[in-house]
């Protein structure tokens, strides 16, 4: 099942499982990438903001040189960081240079906002009071227009968004000449974001689920329904959390720099209708109790339109 692919609205095949690289430490991520490609992963999720694209690129190069995989067989994703959303072409070029590639398969708007491109830091400019230096007059639709222009350059095969709520998508879609191929969002049974998933499905926008384990340390491993289903199938809770996305028709990104876990995370299981119901019931219960959990919400001080955060 880990070799499954989905079709994007561009006609490209996108793997159902990818390796995440956020917080993958220097000194570890090159080997993690090589190991993942050897283990059969065919999607690597990167971002300029992660500060490790040069080392991810070394891993890719090593895998190409060793004949583990060819460039055209790996789906490489990267994202324009918030200080470059008024300079998307430059943002893409910087990622390509760091990765050592001449194109990526998918380029995403990492977050729908602009941070001061002339601020006091390349990635995290701050105001004297310590808050992030955000250009609040910027319209995220303008960023999308720049993204659209990048497709013709051949430097990215597809474009998409990330961290787009229903409200933001509804603002964007009437102006989009190219419908985003993907919306990459936090997604797991404790944050199903069904309203976004449904809207994306209606518009043929593929979901890439991030932080499927609850991000750092995998806080969702101990959730009761997850443990119950894992015991039933004789697998680890991580396998249940990753497999949850396959019947939803979504790609799932699992980050690890630990060789055994990278391999282990390829062992997806076929969840049956009872398992899916148990997880969905848990999501419904969390929704009713107001206990949904968003693990990734950086301190931008911007209302992105997520119902659990506005």
Ligand X SMILES: O=C[C@H](O)[C@@H](O)[C@@H](O)[C@H](O)C(=O)O
Ligand Y SMILES: NC(=O)C1=CN([C@@H]2O[C@H](COP(=O)(O)OP(=O)(O)OC[C@H]3O[C@@H](n4cnc5c(N)ncnc54)[C@H](OP(=O)(O)O)[C@@H]3O)[C@@H](O)[C@H]2O)C=CC1
Active site residues per annotation: 50
Backbone angles phi, psi at 278, to 5 degrees: -60, -45
187 binds, among ligand X, ligand Y, none (CB under 5 to 8 A by kind): none
Q: d(Cα 205, Cα 203) in Å, to the nearest integer?
A: 6
Please identify which residue in 43, 49, 98, 99 interacts with ligand X, judged by CB under 6 A: 49
Rounded to the nearest whole angstrom, what is the least distance from the CB of residue 248 to ligand Y in the complex? 16
Answer yes or no whether residue 298 interacts with ligand X by CB under 6 A: yes
Which residue number places its CB atom closest to ligand X? 298
258 binds, among ligand Y, ligand X, none (CB under 5 to 8 A by kind): ligand Y
Nearer to ligand Y, 157 or 236 (CB): 236
256 binds, among ligand Y, ligand X, none (CB under 5 to 8 A by kind): ligand Y
CA dihedral 242, 245, 246, 250 (to 10 degrees): -130
H helix intervals, the chain: 29-39, 53-65, 88-99, 140-151, 166-172, 194-202, 224-233, 237-243, 259-264, 273-288
Nearer to ligand X, 2 or 49 (CB): 49
193 binds, among ligand Y, ligand X, none (CB under 5 to 8 A by kind): none
Rounded to the nearest whole angstrom, what is the least distance from the CB of residue 210 to ligand X in the complex? 7
Please identify which residue in 16, 19, 34, 47 interacts with ligand X, judged by CB under 6 A: 47
Binding site for ligand Y (CB under 6 A): 20-22, 45, 110, 162-163, 184, 210-218, 238, 253-258, 261, 264-265, 296
Rounded to the nearest whole angstrom, what is the least distance from the CB of residue 78 to ligand X in the complex? 11
298 binds, among ligand X, ligand Y, none (CB under 5 to 8 A by kind): ligand X
Q: d(Cα 280, Cα 113) in Å, to the nearest integer?
A: 32
Nearer to ligand X, 22 or 282 (CB): 22
Q: What tokens were used for 155?
A: 């430097």
Please identify which residue in 178, 227, 296, 302 interacts with ligand X, judged by CB under 6 A: 296
Q: What is the 3-state secondary structure (H, E, C) of 56-84?
A: HHHHHHHHHHCCCCCHHHCEEEEEECHHH
Containing 210, the helix (H) or strand (E) segment is strand 206-210
Rounded to the nearest whole angstrom, what is the least distance from the CB of residue 85 to ligand X in the complex? 13
Which residue number places its CB atom closest to ligand Y? 20
Rounded to the nearest whole angstrom, what is the least distance from the CB of residue 138 to ligand Y in the complex? 18
Report the relative pairing of strands 75-80 and 43-45 from DSSP bridges. Answer: parallel
C-alpha angle 102/104/108, rounded to 5°? 135
188 is in an annotated binding site: no
Answer yes or no whether residue 22 interacts with ligand X by CB under 6 A: yes
Closest CA to 184 of 158, 152, 160: 160
Closest CA to 42 of 22, 17, 24: 17
Contact 134, 301 (CB under 8 A): yes
Task: Give the annotated binding-site residues.
Answer: 110
Which residues contact ligand X (rule: CB under 6 A)? 22, 47, 49, 296, 298
Task: Give the annotated binding-site residues for substrate.
Answer: 110
């Amino acid at each position: 099942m880990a070799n499954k692919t989905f079709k994007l609205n561009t006609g490209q095949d996108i793997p159902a499982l990818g390796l995440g690289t956020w917080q993958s430490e220097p000194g570890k991520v090159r080997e993690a990438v090589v190991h993942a490609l050897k283990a059969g992963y065919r999607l690597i999720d990167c971002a300029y903001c992660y500060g490790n694209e040069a080392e991810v690129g070394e891993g890719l190069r090593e895998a190409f040189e060793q004949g583990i995989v060819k460039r055209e067989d790996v789906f490489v994703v990267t994202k324009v960081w918030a200080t470059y959303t008024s300079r998307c072409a430059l943002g893409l070029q910087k990622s390509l240079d760091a990765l050592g590639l001449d194109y990526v398969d998918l380029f995403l708007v990492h977050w729908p906002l602009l941070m001061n491109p002339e601020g006091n830091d390349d990635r995290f400019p701050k105001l004297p009071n310590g808050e992030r230096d955000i250009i609040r007059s910027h319209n995220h639709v303008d960023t999308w227009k720049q993204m659209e222009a990048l497709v013709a350059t051949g430097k990215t095969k597809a474009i998409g968004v990330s961290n787009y709520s229903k409200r933001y998508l509804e603002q964007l879609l009437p102006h989009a000449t190219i419908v985003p191929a993907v919306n990459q969002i936090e997604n797991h049974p404790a944050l199903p974001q069904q309203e976004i998933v449904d809207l994306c499905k209606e518009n043929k926008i593929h979901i890439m689920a991030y932080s499927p384990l609850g991000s750092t340390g995998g806080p969702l491993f101990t959730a009761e329904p997850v443990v119950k289903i894992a015991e039933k199938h004789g697998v680890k809770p991580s396998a249940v959390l990753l497999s949850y996305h396959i019947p939803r028709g979504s790609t799932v990104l699992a980050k690890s720099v630990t060789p055994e876990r990278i391999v282990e995370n390829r062992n997806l299981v076929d969840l049956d209708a009872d398992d899916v119901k148990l997880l969905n019931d848990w999501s419904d219960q969390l929704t009713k109790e107001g206990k949904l959990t968003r693990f990734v919400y950086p301190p931008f001080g911007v209302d992105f339109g997520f119902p659990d955060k506005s």
